[in-house]
Structure 1
């Protein structure tokens, strides 16, 4: 059975969640009719102003649906979102200390009372206690009622609807002794004022914050399972392969910067670099992290497959990442693949705008004069509000592997290698193919002499590996042999 102090807390929360929220909906409606809100939401200046707040509240899908403009009602908005829109779109003057700050005690302006409602809501939504003494309850009751009355005075006529709704909640709480009876009576008393009242469940728990956290975790788990159910058996097989390779992944300076661009700037990324430098490992690592958070990750192997996946009915969420290695050629520039990429340019631009894209491309291919228009349409510009495709070269002087990076990568792949410091010094001088060479040595589990030979003569090692392909996998050998950028003289 809930205590009197717990019932006081519940009553204040209910008043803030219901009549106060509806009051702010009406404030917004008085200044911006619902039929006109889409104009302000799509105004570039105003959109840029509100987007940081909207993203923080995770309300982008409410205001900016994937297709078309906002066409809902203000009843869809919670108190936090209403505060952001009122503050930035209505033109209501600041209170004495400015929006976002505690208002002056003598300030009874509309802005000041809206600010007080916001602060009360945050206090009781995120506080560490779930109880209120009689004295605290009466004080908060008085504050809420005063805010509602002052705001209602600004409406046309003598409207007291929101005051009446709040007063009913407080009266019901004061007149009921049993919490179960209070909850039932509150639901009956406010039923006629709201079509959105949902049933209230059970007794108030002493540890509400813990319950909310568990519910959030449950929701995330359901979301993750739902996304995993959309993955094909083939995709699951690919993810298993990625995970096996990711067990040996080391987050280098380049990897951290790419992840920062992809996560914080909300941009898509194409990772370029030399063969064997770890491009695919980086984007696979990032994709696996997002998949763990519940994002839907889609590996694609052609521009047409990317187009078909994006246009399919399955593509319904912004939490969608496409992973695409070597879109215009693996070993060398491929004109057919390049033309296919250009054919689906419009779709690729939409992918970058509406979801996320992780690409890799060898530096020699992206630098090929024939690929000059490969990325012209969506390279990162100065517009901070538009998603773009950022090109990141992991082999430039700023981000190439440091000695410490190489040490970490080598130790991860070959933790039991019996080598001297002099041996390590020789190994760490190698720049080209370093991650690839470490992986090869791990698989082959060679002796000290074999490991040193691989790193001291990487070109000779790759030549021998290519000769093996010539015998065992003729088609792959021919593809490598035709590459005009392949540097080995076989």
Structure 2
């Protein structure tokens, strides 16, 4: 029986996930870069030239077997080469300018050239490959993943590839598909063996079809929004009757009107929600339909292509800490938020400062942290000045 020391944990999953990233998208990115620099048909000639000039890269015997035509394993196909051999060839025979700090050294954070990104991936591979442990803490995993994703993204931009999406996929991909299929099959058997459940599902489908024929999709959405949100807007109006506009309010309102989405960031009690609600009600006076939502996916459900809307969601990626599931769904809705079906529509989101900072450190980069779309209530330009404090004291004193 296995001991507890070898049980799967979040740390072992972190290490396995990074290995999949290095052996998958990172290696394939290297292969595509090499194909761009040295087509497979010319590799032998290029290597022979480097040998004649004395600049031949140092290759291990098994590596020479893959690149020299007089060896048994040579296929002339880059798909047979691992990340170590690919790095050696890219570094030595592709005429790439070295990183600003040189090959084999940790690149300067500001260095975004091809060689620097190749070096970042190579160093991450060495760190994981030479580690004596099969564990990666969450902080180590976050740092390595963020570094690798940025390197892949930069190489994507340079060589018109698209491996960043594969990096994002692997971040949440299941690590044990066999057990996933097992649970799915067990659930399917339960439904098949439950005759009453099947009959209920058939009846439910029939009811849905009947309702769809009687009520149009648009009318259904309008009715649902009206029923669910009427009381919520009444509460906002009562709360916002005591709202005091500060000196920075006009600039905040101007930013909201020029962006499709804005994220209000501040500590608990700083007025994030109050400001978002107040601005939403101001926009309602200009003809906007205010739609409070609890889940970001409801934006797709309630979107109206004919009327301008302002969607409002509080604590968009978590209340006490960053919730990865909410961050994932937010990213899934990026297209609807950045390019709403009604061009004038706006999404207002609130986020606690500690959660926002945690999102900035997360390897899964999210659009909602873009500086041009963020209003930080404690920034110098938005913090209360002396006149604001006097007005607040007068109103509440």
Q: State the TM-score, normalizing by the size of structure 1.
A: 0.33
TM-score normalised to structure 2 length: 0.41
Report which structure shows greater RCO (CA 8 Å, sep ≥6). 2
- Larger Rg, first or second structure (1 or 2): 1
